[in-house]
Amino acid sequence: MSTPELVLVGGTVVTVDAAGSTAQAVAVTDGKISAVGTNEEIRALAGPDTDVLDLDGKTVTPGFIDPHSHVTAGAPYIKHAALHTPPVGDTRTVDDIMRKLREAKERNNTQPGEWILGWGYYPDEMDDGGGITAEIIDSEFSEYRVALVHISNHGGVANGLVLKDLGYDDTTEDPDGGTIIRIPGTQKPTGEVWEQAFFPLMFSLPPFGEAELRAMMDEYARWGYVAAQDGAADWKAVKAVRESAEANPLPIDVKTLVFFPDLQTAIDDGIIGTEVSGHTVQGTKLILDGSPQGRTANVSEEYLTGGPSGETHWHGIAVVDQEETNKVVELAYRNSVQVYAHCNGDAAITQLLEAHRAAKAAGATPPGRTIPIHSQVMKQEQLDEYVAEGFEPSMFTIHTWLFGDTHVKNFGEKRAFGISPMRSAIDKGLHPTNHSDFPVTPLNPLQLIWTAVERRSTGGVVIGADERVTPLEALRALTINAAYEYHEEDSRGSIEVGKRADFAVLDANPLTVETAAIQSISVLRTIKDGTTIYTA
């Protein structure tokens, strides 16, 4: 064996291998893991030019692999106004929103006609109900383009200038699969839009530049991630990330999912499945419904709280119909494209399963590991269908913390306590992952691990004790299971000889600390392919 260029010694190495073993040290040669063992064994391999990193009792895990988030959607927000409510942020009132928009305008020296964005807007948890409208925003920002993006990333509030750009007025009908909220007793838009009425706004937001894109990837590295998903990129965003990678290798690997309206373009271009300097076009992204906290997830049993506009007997929104879903899935399968589908509600999951079976019946062969993203308000028997059809769920347990109390109001305890049923999925032999859906929730992977283990809401309610998992299982969801999602389990995701030398160095061991302390663990260093890409 060649002399390693790097050894990490003097710590606890959580390998996440099949046996769940731990070690003291690890060696890296040519960017690959060349040995795992005791301090004495690994030190003996070091040569005079080997970089010896003394862990001083710290913990090493595999580098985190993000199973679902939005790199390019998050990038434009970095310099704008974060509107998160406690415990993530401090936005409590509409006055707070207006102040933060004002601060963003001044910070960015925004000129009339330019954009001011707010993101993480969550009125349900605001002290005054968060009832902001285009009229309120325009009382101070009528000359600017202003949009507040709901924390679900499936809706938002636009001011008058943006509504005019979108062509939304009192004569505009709601698009299929979308809702334009109106001032009561009139047809005049309030500024609030959802799903298919929101997506034109989402894709008209100001573009990210190279600086914002690289800053976004550095943010992932800061949290120990070595790979991240760009979970619904339009063709312009796909090309922008590819061009950035071609100009200079990316600091982390970016796995792009082409937004389904651009799937045929990507197939014709031949870009799907190709990799350039850290950028891979992994598959395609379907959006079938909305969010449970926004009351737009498509569920078979109606919401207890009605719809976002006061609708009764409300079941949410199907963003696209069954026929369109069938067409996209068959097109993807016929071209060996992995399908990722946003499915928050059980009706959306049924829609994906039906499309999958229809594609097979038509003679299209699935490329394997179709991913229903979120898998939240679902039925237990749907997990059996996942097993039968080769699906692997990407789950979202941070909802139990940030939105768990809202889910209980919307669905009642029985349904709310079963969201993101990770314990059941593991027990059925599935490989569930766990994601942040950034910028919907924070990137912090230790918070994700903690929420999967404790499932405790901000109100202190345990949202489904029967679906809790162990810290090791929660760690696997962000490492080896995430690698499995991407068909990369043989090359990364665990600390084993021959795999890529991807590590996160933590200040404590998430497997041994008190579970409540897991979310407070810090990332001290991120190593990708044997090279440090972040140090605290």
Range of the domain at 113: 85-150+155-197
For 83, the token pair is: 């509107």
Segment 204-216 mean pLDDT:
88
Please name the helix (run of DSSP H) or strand (run of DSSP E) that holds residue 244, with its range, or none: helix 235-247
pLDDT digits (tens, 9 = 90+) for 28-45: 999 999 999 999 999 999
Domain contains 71:
no
CATH number at residue 22: 2.30.40.10
Tokens 């369109």, located at residue: 324
CATH number at residue 492: 3.20.20.140
Segment 181-206 mean pLDDT:
91
Domain contains 535:
no
Q: How does residue 153 score in pLDDT terms, banded at 50, 70 and 90?
A: confident
Neighbour count for residue 381 (Cβ, 10 Å): 8
Same domain, 105 and 46: no
Please name the helix (run of DSSP H) or strand (run of DSSP E) that holds residue 233, with its range, or none: strand 225-233
Nearest-angstrom CA–CA distance, 3 and 535: 25
pLDDT > 90 fraction of the chain, expressed in percent and rounded: 90
Domain contains 75:
no
pLDDT digits (tens, 9 = 90+) for 158-185: 999 999 999 999 999 999 888 999 999 9
Question: Is the confidence at residue 1, as pLDDT, over 80?
Answer: no
Same domain, 237 and 364: yes
Same domain, 345 and 303: yes
Question: Is the confidence at residue 255, as pLDDT, over 70?
Answer: yes
pLDDT digits (tens, 9 = 90+) for 386-431: 999 999 999 999 999 999 999 999 999 999 999 999 999 999 999 9
Same domain, 477 and 343: yes
Out of 18-27, 172-181, 198-207, 317-326, pick the least confident.
198-207
Question: Is the confidence at residue 444, as pLDDT, over 90?
Answer: yes
CATH number at residue 165: 3.10.310
Question: Is the confidence at residue 238, as pLDDT, over 80?
Answer: yes
Nearest-angstrom CA–CA distance, 506 and 224: 9
For 259, the token pair is: 């937004």
Same domain, 324 and 466: yes
Same domain, 39 and 114: no
pLDDT digits (tens, 9 = 90+) for 474-528: 999 999 999 999 999 999 999 999 999 999 999 999 999 999 999 999 999 999 9
Task: Tally DSSP H helices, then E strands, for the chain.
Answer: 19, 25
Instruction: Please give the pLDDT value at position 473.
Output: 98
Nearest-angstrom CA–CA distance, 275 and 314: 43
Question: Is the confidence at residue 281, as pLDDT, over 90?
Answer: yes
Q: Residue 477 in 3-state DSSP?
A: helix
Segment 454-469 mean pLDDT:
97
Segment 4-13 mean pLDDT:
98
Please name the helix (run of DSSP H) or strand (run of DSSP E) that holds residue 407, with its range, or none: helix 404-411
Q: Residue 12: which of 511, 516, 531, 521 has the closest Cα?
A: 511
Domain contains 62:
no
DSSP state, residue 310: S
Nearest-angstrom CA–CA distance, 269 and 126: 46
Cα dihedral 315, 319, 325, 329 sign:
negative
Residue 346: C-alpha distances to residues 259, 318, 350, 376, 378 (Å)? 22, 11, 6, 8, 4
Residue 341: C-alpha distances to residues 201, 345, 351, 474 (Å)? 21, 12, 10, 22
Q: How does residue 237 score in pLDDT terms, banded at 50, 70 and 90?
A: very high
Question: Is the confidence at residue 267, as pLDDT, over 70?
Answer: yes
Same domain, 218 and 182: no
Nearest-angstrom CA–CA distance, 501 and 25: 13
Q: How does residue 259 score in pLDDT terms, banded at 50, 70 and 90?
A: very high
Do residues 237 and 262 touch, judged by C-beta distance below 8 A?
Answer: no
Same domain, 219 and 363: yes
pLDDT digits (tens, 9 = 90+) for 302-356: 999 999 878 999 999 999 999 999 999 999 999 999 999 999 999 999 999 999 9
Instruction: Please give the pLDDT value at position 338.
Output: 98
Q: How does residue 88 score in pLDDT terms, banded at 50, 70 and 90?
A: confident
Q: Residue 525 in 3-state DSSP?
A: strand
Nearest-angstrom CA–CA distance, 354 and 385: 11
Number of structural domains the chain divides into = 3
Instruction: Please give the pLDDT value at position 154.
Output: 84
Domain contains 74:
no
Same domain, 368 and 436: yes
Domain contains 77:
no
C-alpha neighbours within 13 Å on the C-beta side of residue 248: 5
Domain contains 44:
yes
DSSP bridge pairs for 456:
462
Same domain, 311 and 367: yes
Same domain, 331 and 472: yes
Same domain, 165 and 23: no
Domain contains 224:
yes
Domain end call among 169, 197, 225: 197
Instruction: Please give the pLDDT value at position 220.
Output: 97
Distance of CA 495 to the CA centre of its chain: 24
Q: How does residue 107 score in pLDDT terms, banded at 50, 70 and 90?
A: very high
